[in-house]
Amino acid sequence: MRLLFGGMILGAAACSKYNPNHLASVSTSQFGSKIEGFDSSDQVAASNLVAYWSFDGTEKESISGIGPAANVNDSYVTKGVRGQGLELNNGYLYYTQQIPNLGTNLHSFTVIAWVQVLNNGSTPTSIWQLSRPGNLYGNINFLCETGQNPASDLNDFIVHPDYFDGGGTQDNLNANWAPDGAGTYYSPTIGPNIWTQIGVTFDSATVILQVWADGKRIGTTSYQQRGTALYKPTVPDEVIIGGWYNDIPGKTVTTDTWTVPMVGGVDEIRVYNAALGAADIKALYELGQAGK
What sign for the dihedral angle of Cα 190, 218, 79, 291? positive
In the prediction, which pLDDT does 218 show?
97
In the prediction, which pLDDT does 14 show?
37
In the prediction, which pLDDT does 76 show?
97
In the prediction, which pLDDT does 283 show?
97
In the prediction, which pLDDT does 33 show?
86
Nearest to 11 by CA among 161, 130, 125: 161
**If the chain, 292 residues long, is cut into consecutive pieces of 10 residues, what is the mean pLDDT of each piece?**
40 39 40 84 97 97 98 97 97 98 97 98 98 97 98 98 97 96 96 96 98 97 96 97 98 97 98 98 97 94
d(CA 41, CA 156): 27
3-state secondary structure of 136: coil
In the prediction, which pLDDT does 32 show?
56
- The total domain count for the chain is 1
Nearest to 231 by CA among 192, 285, 271: 271
| Three state DSSP letters for 200-219 | EEEECCCCEEEEEECCEECC
d(CA 55, CA 112): 14
For residue 244, the domain's CATH number is 2.60.120.200
In the prediction, which pLDDT does 252 show?
97
In the prediction, which pLDDT does 15 show?
37
Domain that holds residue 280: 2-289
In the prediction, which pLDDT does 24 show?
42
| Three state DSSP letters for 19-48 | CCCCCCCCCHHHCCCCECCECCHHHCCHHH
DSSP string, 235-264: SS-EEEES--GGGSTT------SS-PPEEE
Residues in the chain: 292
